[in-house]
Amino acid sequence: MSLTIASILAESAVRHADRTAVVLGDLKLTYAQLWGHAKQYAQVLRDHGVGPGDKVALLLPNTPHFPLAYFGTLALGAVAVPVHALLKAEEIQYVLEDSGAKVLVCAAPLMGEGAKGAELASVPILGVMDSPGGSDSDASVPRIDNKAFEVQPIDAIVPREPEDTAVILYTSGTTGQPKGAEITHLNVMMNVVASSTTSFDIGPDDVVLGCLPLFHTFGQTCCMNTAFYVGASVVLLPRFDGAQALELLEKEKCTIFMGVPTMYIGLIEAAKTSDLRPKLKSAMSGGAALPVPVLEKFHEVFGTQVLEGYGLTETSPVATFNQVGFEPRPGTVGKQIWGVEVEVARAEVDERIELLPTGELGEIVVRGHNVFKGYLNKPEATAAAIVDGWFRTGDLGTK
């Protein structure tokens, strides 16, 4: 049985070929174009020795290069390892070594730390984008974006099993080194399907503002993958700025906004000195608790209700959401998504899960198709996190 999240883009390239997939400034790429280029990226990666199961690290901003490298990697049956764009060289070195990355795809603006990290880890680099200021500072780095135009696209996606690792996302735990969470093809696919069919109100006519970093699970799965699955357009904003986001929402006629609480605060602030009031169909918040006054103010200013959800990197990411079809309750993170169980357990009991009755405060535990495979090379950490089939979130909550 084969399943790959590369088919998210491959299918939409057939079903929504001429619809706009991504927008960055004046650049617009259709689904057919995006998938065609991604298959060319795949061929360049293949020429550099990347094959099924190999890890490809991605140090890229919110530009079309991200989905191109991401889906190019997945199309080969390889594993995407997105790297946080603010990491320093030694931290990048750690991710590259821990994941066993075969190559790093790095954007010119991030090359300062990226090249140092890759050198420390002895990992080859493929560059994208021109250096800021137009000068090509390091002509010795081969450019995957330029080479892609010179090659034939791969002819077929490499099949994967549902339980194969698709993406490794590094979580900055409170203690010690970051841990690489192994997310499977099934994890991502089910999260995307559940989000698009029963949680979010999203379809092919929607335009989503993509200002969440794509290297993060929220931006990657909820924004990019879910939008691509239904054939919606993603308007990319490489660096969030309230005023700029407000202008883009209006200019590109965005219907959906996804953000973390600080972004909502940024939009409310920007609205104080601007008359722009984009007509949003829905707004989704996650990543941290959204203060109810911010939620109310956003509704007052923009006329759109903010829907909150909850999840973690290890839950691929969505575990609960204020879903379509249920009356949203402000100040809550909604109901468990389709096919997932979310309960509250006794936090002080480590070796087993003891569920608590409704209304009691305890540790939130999650079970279902969204729970990750485990932490890469860390069996002890995995065993501590997944107990009796439940993932222990480390977060406190009540039902």
Taking residue 22's Cβ as centre, other Cβ atoms within 10 Å add up to 25
Number of residues that make up the chain: 399
Sign of CA dihedral 57, 31, 36, 147: negative
| Average pLDDT of the residues of the chain | 96
For residue 39, what pLDDT is reported? 98
For residue 131, what pLDDT is reported? 83
pLDDT tens, 132-171?
765 545 678 999 999 999 999 999 999 999 999 999 999 9
Average pLDDT for residues 289-299, to the nearest whole number? 95
Residue 394 has pLDDT above 70, yes or no: yes
For residue 213, what pLDDT is reported? 97
Cis preceding linkage at 317, omega within 30: yes
Average pLDDT for residues 365-375, to the nearest whole number? 98
Reported confidence tier of residue 75, pLDDT bands at 50, 70, 90: very high
pLDDT tens, 226-276?
999 999 999 999 999 999 999 999 999 999 999 999 999 999 999 999 999
Separation between Cα atoms, residue 362 and residue 396, nearest integer Å: 5
For residue 134, what pLDDT is reported? 55
Residue 173 has pLDDT above 90, yes or no: no
For residue 132, what pLDDT is reported? 73
3-state class (DSSP) for residue 375: strand
Reported confidence tier of residue 172, pLDDT bands at 50, 70, 90: confident
Residue 209 has pLDDT above 70, yes or no: yes
For residue 139, what pLDDT is reported? 74
More confident position, 64 or 172: 64
End-to-end CA distance of the chain: 37
For residue 138, what pLDDT is reported? 63
Separation between Cα atoms, residue 117 and residue 93, nearest integer Å: 4
pLDDT tens, 295-354?
999 999 999 999 999 999 999 999 999 998 899 998 899 999 999 999 999 999 999 999
Q: How many CA atoms lie within 13 A of 214 on its CB side?
A: 27
Residue 72 has pLDDT above 70, yes or no: yes
pLDDT tens, 107-133?
999 999 999 999 999 999 999 999 876
Please state, for a pLDDT cut of 70, what percent of the chain lies above it.
Answer: 98
